[in-house]
Structure 1
């Protein structure tokens, strides 16, 4: 049964990404790297599809600057080291990153939710969302547009600047059990 759910998840994610993205490059008016602007305003590193993972090494690669716009887990993952979501990726012509802690059926109903555990998760990619499961640990946000969607963070969310906190959202039962504040 779990294998069928995994296959359906991969198929659904592939279908969604293939239909929802036209894979155009980033806006050519975006400043180039090294121009003194932050990573959030630089041209995206890549336009990619999803990475469905079931182990720690694959997950770390998926959230790295060499990864994919979405990292979808197929089971609970636990790390003793800190994790970093880095790099800029495009989905539907906008910067986006997603940590999908769930599987879903063909009608987009969540079939399983998973836990991701790490002491610290640093968000450096614009418009990163944690969706559909539980992250256990503290989140440090260094980019615009962080969101918790239909997910729980069992820990704190710290923003390195008030401008990042101003773009934060929690939607569709997204919640944080600890504090949500600026901490430099």
Structure 2
């Protein structure tokens, strides 16, 4: 029985690791986000492993830490997750966790199969998500709650926001992309200043 668990965990890590190895930010290609975002594969919803600098979990405390300044460049949610308090995305991260790569950070609210077809989307619920990381992308899924953006390069990629988005400065709003691959916001999009 113990051997079967080890084999299952090893197989899951191999599949997740293979999907993460091919990942890169969209650089203007015409592929859909499900084809170009290979970071997430179907993984057990209780698996929390660091694979190629990623954090994969369905636990609120793990996701909160992974999105902090001490976290990871990519965070993959494997089920709906709810936060009682505001959630802060902080720190500077680079694509693939490599300092030589572009500044980039991703929150993946979806699962995909081995052909990179999105198979499920998840909902992150929080009173407010505060974005302090530059070039932060929310890919697929739904954010229920408001988002406050305090950095350049914020992107919604095939994601939905059921709430308002407030940019701290006009510069941050100008640099944002809120409609990539059909992304949408149900609330108001405003600038605080």
TM-score, with length taken from structure 1: 0.77
- Could you tell me how far 1:49 is from its partner in structure 2? 1.8
Corresponding position of 2:66: 62
Corresponding position of 1:18: 21
> Residues of 2 paired with 1:67 and 1:165: CA distance?
25
Over the residues paired in the alignment, what is the CA RMSD in angstroms? 2.1
SS at match of 1:140: strand
> Residues of 2 paired with 1:163 and 1:125: CA distance?
15
> Residues of 1 paired with 2:87 and 2:12: CA distance?
24
Q: Which sections of structure 1, spanning at least 5 residues, go unmatched? A: 1-5, 22-47
> Residues of 1 paired with 2:10 and 2:154: CA distance?
29
Tell me whether 67-76 or 6-15 shows the greater mean CA deviation: 6-15
- Could you tell me how far 1:108 is from its partner in structure 2? 1.1
- Could you tell me how far 1:146 is from its partner in structure 2? 0.3
When residues 120 and 108 of structure 1 are mapped into structure 2, their CA distance, relative to the original with a 3 A threshold, is same
> Residues of 2 paired with 1:7 and 1:159: CA distance?
42
- Could you tell me how far 1:9 is from its partner in structure 2? 7.8
1:162 correspondence with 2:170 = yes
- Could you tell me how far 1:15 is from its partner in structure 2? 2.3
SS at match of 2:175: coil
Corresponding position of 2:190: 181
> Residues of 1 paired with 2:152 and 2:109: CA distance?
21
Does the CA-based 8 Å contact 1:126-1:143 persist in structure 2?
A: yes
- Alignment partner for residue 180 of structure 2, among 151, 171, 181? 171
SS at match of 1:94: coil
CA-to-aligned-CA distance 1:128-168 (integer Å, 9 cap, x gap): 01111000000000001001001100001100000000011
Corresponding position of 1:88: 92
Corresponding position of 1:39: none
When residues 77 and 177 of structure 1 are mapped into structure 2, their CA distance, relative to the original with a 3 A threshold, is same
Q: Which runs of 4+ in 1 moved over 6 A?
A: 6-9
> Residues of 2 paired with 1:12 and 1:161: CA distance?
41
Corresponding position of 1:41: none
